[in-house]
């Protein structure tokens, strides 16, 4: 699991450290962000002290209306030993009582010049990406016409060779051999390559090749949403393969069910073209055009017409 510290926010966002510099190495253990509005009234029974605290214009206006003793009491309770930091938005001036409490308890106060909603959105996206569920799968991830296609199959079935042919046809390689996958939101999987093998392809007989060096920067990309899975397997004469495409199979990766197609491999089949067409067909389905269902409807209509003619 990745670890995020308060200093990472300083390095990745337009934030200024105002107080509590001794605590910038505190760990942020959750992607949830708290706006301590009710806490400003003095109610701390359910105060989520382990979260990053964000003070906007409303919270600061209420705080400034309190007496000095009330302000001192609130900030002392806000600044606990596990609070990772307090972010103040809109570039607002920070009262001395808040700065003193933060320095004393080593809780960093970070100031942002941006609006509250924008700061919440960007910080949440950053933290959720860092703390997203993570796994790794053996396969190849290629961007084909904007569709992230994860090619899986047994070792030696031809995944990397197929990916090389797809790159030659103008598509983009994301990862070969090992695909690191993180789940964002409830139904989104983002795949990328481990840094060690980024932009590299292993071709048996040739060895390791650098796709970006050979084909240019347009032939690779760093990450891509996984939209469909193509599983390559050696042709089995005893197995009945789907010939119409009416049955939609899926593969579960973490909590997401991804559409999956199985393509049998045997000499003479151009796998790159088949996968390319599969990606285009997937795009058509998303736009509401399903060739298999149209064929099934035509067939049903024809059968019904023949029945009527016989009667």
Annotated catalytic residues are 138, 159, 177, 243
Closest to 153 in 3D by CA, of 269, 264, 242, 254: 264
- CB burial of 53-83 (b: ≥16 within 10 Å; e: otherwise) equals bbbbeebbeebeebeeeebebbbeebbeeeb
> Is 154 annotated in some ligand binding site?
yes
* Residue 131, φ and ψ in degrees, nearest 5: -105, 15
Return all residues near 251 (Cβ < 8 A) that are at least 6 apart: 229, 231, 257, 258, 260
> Is 121 annotated in some ligand binding site?
no
> Is 27 annotated in some ligand binding site?
no
> Is 159 annotated in some ligand binding site?
yes
> Is 157 annotated in some ligand binding site?
yes
Cα 17 to its chain centre, rounded Å, is 29
**Within the chain, how many helices (H) and strands (E) appear?**
9, 19
> Is 158 annotated in some ligand binding site?
yes
- Rounded CA-CA distance 12/265 in Å is 46
> Is 202 annotated in some ligand binding site?
yes
Q: 3-class SS at 273?
A: helix
Q: Binding site for Mg(2+): which residues?
A: 160, 202
Annotated binding site: 153-160, 202
């Amino acid at each position: 699991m990745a670890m995020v510290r308060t200093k990472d926010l300083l390095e990745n966002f337009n934030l200024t450290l105002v107080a509590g510099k001794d605590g910038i190495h505190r760990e942020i253990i959750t992607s949830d962000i708290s706006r301590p509005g009710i806490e400003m009234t003095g109610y701390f029974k359910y105060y989520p002290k382990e979260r990053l605290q964000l003070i906007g214009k409303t919270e600061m206006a209420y705080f400034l209306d309190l007496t000095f003793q009330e302000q001192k009491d609130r900030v002392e309770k806000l600044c606990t030993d596990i609070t990772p930091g307090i972010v103040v938005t809109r570039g607002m001036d920070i009262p001395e009582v808040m700065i003193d409490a933060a320095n004393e308890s080593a809780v960093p106060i970070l100031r942002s010049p941006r609006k509250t909603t924008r700061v919440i959105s960007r910080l949440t996206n950053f933290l959720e990406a860092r703390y997203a569920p993570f796994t790794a799968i053996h396969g190849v991830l290629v961007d084909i016409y904007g569709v992230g296609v994860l090619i899986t199959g047994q070792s030696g079935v031809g995944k990397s060779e197929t990916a090389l042919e797809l790159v030659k046809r103008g598509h983009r390689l994301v990862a070969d051999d090992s695909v690191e996958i993180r789940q964002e939101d409830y139904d989104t999987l983002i795949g990328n390559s481990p840094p060690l093998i980024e932009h590299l392809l292993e071709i048996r007989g040739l060895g390791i090749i650098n796709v970006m060096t050979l084909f240019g920067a347009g032939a690779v990309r760093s990450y891509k949403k996984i939209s469909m899975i193509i599983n390559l397997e050696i042709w089995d004469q005893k197995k009945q393969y789907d010939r119409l495409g009416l049955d939609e199979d899926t593969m579960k990766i973490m909590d997401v069910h991804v559409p999956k197609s199985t393509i049998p491999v045997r000499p003479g089949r151009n796998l790159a073209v088949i996968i390319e067409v599969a990606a285009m067909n997937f795009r058509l389905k998303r736009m509401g055009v399903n060739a298999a269902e149209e064929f099934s409807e035509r067939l049903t209509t024809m059968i019904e017409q023949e029945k009527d003619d016989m009667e």
